[in-house]
Amino acid sequence: MSTLFQPLSALTGAPGDGAGATHTFPAGQPLQLDSGEALAPLTIAWNTYGSLNAAKSNAFLLCHALTGDQFAAGIHPVTGKPGWWASMVGPGLPIDTNRFFVICANVIGGCMGSSGPHDIDPATGKPYGLSFPVITIRDMVRAQALLLDHLGIESLFCVAGGSMGGMQVLQWAASYPERVFSALPLATAARHSAQNIAFHEVGRQAIMADPEWSDGDYAAKGTNPRKGLAVARMAAHITYLSEAALHRKFGRNLQNREALSYRFDADFQVESYLRHQGLAFVDRFDANSYLYITRAMDYFDLAADYDGVLAQAFRNTKTRFCVASFTSDWLFPTAEGKKIVHALNAAGANVSFVEFDTDKGHDAFLLDVPEMFQTLRGFIDAAAQARGLRGAKV
């Protein structure tokens, strides 16, 4: 079992102190899942930044992507590195923590404190492993809605997120339109494509092919499928970049050597980089969580819940949307963003659509793209004005 999961209880504290908080709902209050099963007890780990105003009108929910977590801004307490959206969220930044009460929760199925397959199954007294129920994006969003109920927050000023986070944003807007004043789905799609399901299946098979995975029972057996999870991460990481960005960063440059080795060492810098990405990942992520969360993304098809008509998901919506995509993102290409925009237009929604010109690929939404900061700041400020949120301090 990874050492990662041991210190999480030590992270529990008051929200807003940078260490996050957890809440376990009573066993009699289970989370009803799309699969038909119920998850109890439900635990949600979250973190907050900034403070809630008296009218409770400045809550800003962030939805994290596949391998993200609740530590979106500032320095991550486990890795010691900046949070996944530290460039976007903070004092004076586009998602201004002097102005907004920013909430980010670890998704269920995750491995940073919310209920997931590494938890102890109360029915058996042993870690769930593969007996943890399969969860969906909608289940993740339901759990977040329960958290907001617990925090006494009726309505969100904004819900924002990229990639899988963007899927949650769309699900929020469809499931709880009256609770979402504005929505910012980035680098995302209303359904997971066949190509993206295929990439996920490669990752899952890599994990399951590792003998240490032990049919998902590695926590009980004292093993850890590090190699399988690292390969899954390496394959996925390629899809987060672009051909142009890989070429710009690495070209065919050799790693710490003058000539080809004629062996299978990491001759090329790009190989060394990917190996590093894989190894760094296994120290902070759980293999079974990777299986469950990728499955949730694969199952996502928002229109399917609305007779196949995406516009029906947003019927009569009053939410203000800004959909954004990136030119070099081939995992969630601009065409997917446009499908969302077309549906929102057909629903008569208030929608903006921006595409940012960058060679940074899918991960661009996490990176330094000045035009993105400037444009999203404009959308957020205008929405804040419409909401009656004024000034930097509320």
381 is a contact residue toward other proteins (CB under 8 A) = yes
What is the closest distance, in whole angstroms, from the C-beta atom of residue 170 to other proteins in the complex? 16
Q: Report residue 50 CA to chain centroid gap.
A: 21
242 is an active site residue? no
Query: Can you tell me the distance from the alpha carbon of 286 to that of 283, in angstroms, rounded to the nearest whole number?
Result: 8
354 is a contact residue toward other proteins (CB under 8 A) = yes
Closest CA to 300 of 159, 143, 141, 179: 141
Nearer to other proteins, 184 or 293 (CB): 184
Query: Can you tell me the distance from the alpha carbon of 117 to that of 152, in angstroms, rounded to the nearest whole number?
Result: 28
The token pair at 268 is: 């090329």
Q: Is it true that the peptide bond before 177 is cis, omega within 30 degrees of 0? A: no
x/- track of binding to other proteins for residues 316-335 (CB under 8 A): ----x-x-------------
Q: Which of 64, 76, 118, 362 is catalytic?
A: 362
Query: Can you tell me the distance from the alpha carbon of 392 to that of 394, in angstroms, rounded to the nearest whole number?
Result: 6
237 is a contact residue toward other proteins (CB under 8 A) = no
Closest CA to 309 of 335, 339, 334, 338: 339
Who's near 5: CB < 8 A, 6+ residues apart? 111, 118, 286
368 is an active site residue? no
377 is a contact residue toward other proteins (CB under 8 A) = yes
Instruction: Calculate the alpha carbon distances from 330 to 130, 244, 341, 360 in Å.
Output: 31, 12, 18, 11
Nearer to other proteins, 12 or 385 (CB): 385
Partners of 102 in beta bridges: 49, 60
76 is an active site residue? no
355 is a contact residue toward other proteins (CB under 8 A) = yes
346 is a contact residue toward other proteins (CB under 8 A) = yes
169 is a contact residue toward other proteins (CB under 8 A) = no
368 is a contact residue toward other proteins (CB under 8 A) = no
Contacting range for other proteins; rule: CB under 8 A; set: 42-50, 64-72, 139-147, 342-350: 342-350
Nearer to other proteins, 208 or 346 (CB): 346
Q: Which of 57, 163, 182, 242 is catalytic?
A: 163
Binding site for other proteins (CB under 8 A): 320, 322, 341-342, 345-346, 348, 350-357, 371, 374-375, 377-379, 381-382, 385
Active site residues: 163, 329, 362
